[in-house]
Amino acid sequence: MTTLIIGSGLVGSQVARILVEQGERPILMDNAAQPASIGEIVDSQRTTLIEGDILRPYTLSKAIVDHKITGIVHTAAHPMLTLGAQRDPYAAIQLNIMGTVNVLEAARVHGVKRVVVSSSSVLNHYLVAGDGSHDPMKEEGFPRPSTFYAATKQAVESIGLNYARYCGIEFAGLRYGAVFGPWSGHGGGGPSNVMREAVRAAIAGEEAILPSGGMEWVYSKDAATGTVQALQTKTIETGIFNVTMGTLATPEDMANALRTVVPGAKVRNQTPQASSVSMMNMSRASDLSRAKRVIGFTPHYDMVTGLRDLVEWMKLRAKNVR
């Protein structure tokens, strides 16, 4: 089996690491790869990094044919996710929706059976309207996404499920929580960068700023584990799965976890105004029962163990780069 990983950042690099540990040589495709950062996560000598753009279908076809691809993991997304889509909706719609369509169509044309796509738990939270009846005969029977990013992810899931229904593609859409974890490069969503900066500040003895509302997170290593499980499980069924910690972290939970991992850390819960759209106050945690039953996903990292792993990685990295 040879896997094409599209997007080699926070999650894609961890997916590559797991596949390498299993003995595979994955193909990483990115239009703006960060080799130094990738190399901190996975042995670059055991992967193949190629340039490619999901908005240029030929590069997808070439990668699939040249490397005899048998499975695809698609993690590429418009920069800054929710915030980026609110600022530049057209570009986000093009990349998130049409880019994913290009991936699915390339898989269909070239006979790649399994495609795993990163969706988002924003679809469990960023919903408005709907009268609760779930009656398709009523205009407002169903809630609708309240941000451009959530709308693109809803479209991605619906299109992917129809490729599965009519084109023989085995499709899995994974609703990641806000992802944080080891990564020295740029990219990621607003919450990911807020958490990384908070950890950096705490280690440096500076004040760490954490969200002032409840948040649903997933550690990047768990996100990657769930992705590989979705890629490799024998039967995928209807392929939408929640991949989160399975708990809602309150502001106090986040602050206490950081103080546990970095004793004496100065922490303040205050969401920057610029991040308010992507750092909403969530009230419920996603249900992981289906992900556990179908793909075998159970998170191994909670807030404390995830932050501890990240702190250890950041300290080791700082020592190695000196």
Residue 272, pLDDT score = 60
The predicted-structure confidence for 33-47, as pLDDT tens digits, reads as follows 999 999 999 999 999
Query: What pLDDT band is residue 282 in, cutting at 50, 70 and 90?
Result: confident
User: What does DSSP assign to residue 269?
Assistant: E
The predicted-structure confidence for 102-127, as pLDDT tens digits, reads as follows 999 999 999 999 999 999 999 999 99
Task: Please compute the mean of the pLDDT values over residues 56-63 and round it to a whole number.
Answer: 97
Q: Per DSSP, what are the bridge partners of residue 241?
A: 174
Residue 1, pLDDT score = 86
277 pLDDT higher than 90: no
Is residue 134 within 8 Å of 76, Cβ to Cβ? no
Residue 151, pLDDT score = 97
Count of domains for the chain: 1
Angle between the N-to-C axes of helices 57-66 and 99-110, in degrees from 0 to 180, rounded to the nearest 10: 40
The predicted-structure confidence for 186-216, as pLDDT tens digits, reads as follows 988 889 999 999 999 999 999 999 999 999 9
Task: Please compute the mean of the pLDDT values over residues 78-91 and round it to a whole number.
Answer: 92
273 pLDDT higher than 60: no
Long-range (24+ apart) CB contacts under 8 A made by 166-171 are 167/104, 167/108, 168/108, 168/113, 169/104, 169/107, 169/108, 169/112, 169/113, 169/114, 169/115, 170/113, 170/114, 170/115, 170/236, 170/239, 171/104, 171/115, 171/117, 171/236, 171/239
Residue 319, pLDDT score = 87
CATH of residue 109? 3.40.50.720
163 pLDDT higher than 80: yes
Amino acid at 42: V
DSSP β-ladder status, 144-145 and 127-128: antiparallel
Q: Which residue has the higher pLDDT, 282 or 151?
A: 151
The predicted-structure confidence for 213-263, as pLDDT tens digits, reads as follows 999 999 999 999 999 999 999 988 779 999 999 999 999 999 999 999 999
279 pLDDT higher than 80: no
Q: Which domain holds residue 288?
A: 3-321
pLDDT averaged over the chain? 94
Residue 129, pLDDT score = 87
